[in-house]
Each structure stands twice: as C-alpha cells, then as structure tokens.
Amino acid sequence: MSMQVDGLGHPLRGDVFDSNCPSRTILDHVTSKWAVLVLAALRTGPRRFSALRRTIGGVSEKMLAQTLRTLEADGFLDREVAPTTPPQVTYSLSPLGAELTEHLTGLVEWIAVRIPDIEAARS
C-alpha cells in the first residue's frame, strides 16, 4: 500500500509519485485537459451546463459532460437538477472541490499573469 499510516494503521497521506497510490488517479483526473478549466469556471459560482460550455472555449458538449461526470464521481462537484422543461442542471463546487480549486486557481492565475514572460522565454 502506498499510503503512509500512523501507529494505528490509519492512512495519513498519499504519495503521488507512486503509480499505485489512489492519489495518482485523483491527480490525473484533476489535471486532465478540461477538468482544470471546469473547476476554475465554477470558482466564481454555480453554473449551468450551457454556461460552462460557452465559457470554456474549445470544449465539446461530449467532453464537458464526460468531465463533469468524472469530477462529480470524485466528489468535487455537486449537481442539481431543476424540474423544469427542459430540465436545467446546475453544477457547483462541493466543499471538497472548493478546497481543491483554491490550489488550482493559483496555478491558472500565475499562467495568465506570466504568459508574456513565458512567451518571451520560448522565443
């Protein structure tokens, strides 16, 4: 088992460098192509599927639906269906997802702010 345990055998933390540790799976999900953007978009508040689609340039409905399903299964998103016709589905960060997104936001912001320097360094 890859997790470190305390004296009583309780898991304390994972090790993302160990390919067998569940934390690796979570890291892979969270850093997948569209997940970062979904989480970042939801940081400002709950959004409907179509709003997310419009916000995230380049994502297809298929990939968006797939990504939302994975993030919901991981426990990072909450999904609320309004009994309207057509039904309106609103996604929001779960408490766990909000914690996670705090860390992702720093990364996304840093890239946005430093992109001119990154581009200069690339050329």
Binding segment for DNA (CB under 7 A), chosen from 8-16, 86-94, 98-106, 113-121, is: 86-94
Cβ proximity of 90 and 82 under 8 Å: yes
> Rule CB under 7 A: is residue 62 a binding residue for DNA?
yes
Pick between residue 10 and residue 62 the one whose CB is nearest to DNA.
Answer: 62
Identify the helix (H) or strand (E) that includes residue 109: helix 95-122
* Alpha carbon distance 57, 59 (integer Å): 6
CA angle 24, 80, 89 (to 5 degrees): 95
Least Cβ distance, residue 9 to DNA (angstroms): 30
Task: Work out what residue 60 binds among DNA, its own copies, none; the CB cut-off runs from 5 to 8 Å by kind.
Answer: DNA
Nearest 5°: phi and psi at 4? -80, 145
- Give the pairing type, strands 88-93 and 11-13: unpaired
Binding segment for its own copies (CB under 8 A), chosen from 30-38, 43-51, 60-68, 85-93, is: 30-38
> Rule CB under 8 A: is residue 31 a binding residue for its own copies?
yes
Pick between residue 16 and residue 63 the one whose CB is nearest to DNA.
Answer: 63
Neighbours of 26 (CB within 10 A): 16
Question: Per-residue contact track with its own copies, 75 to 114, x per CB under 8 A?
Answer: x------------------x-x--xx--xx-xxx-xxxxx
The amino acid at residue 81 is V
Judged by the rule CB under 7 A, the positions of this chain that interact with DNA are: 32-34, 48-51, 58-63, 65-69, 79, 85-91
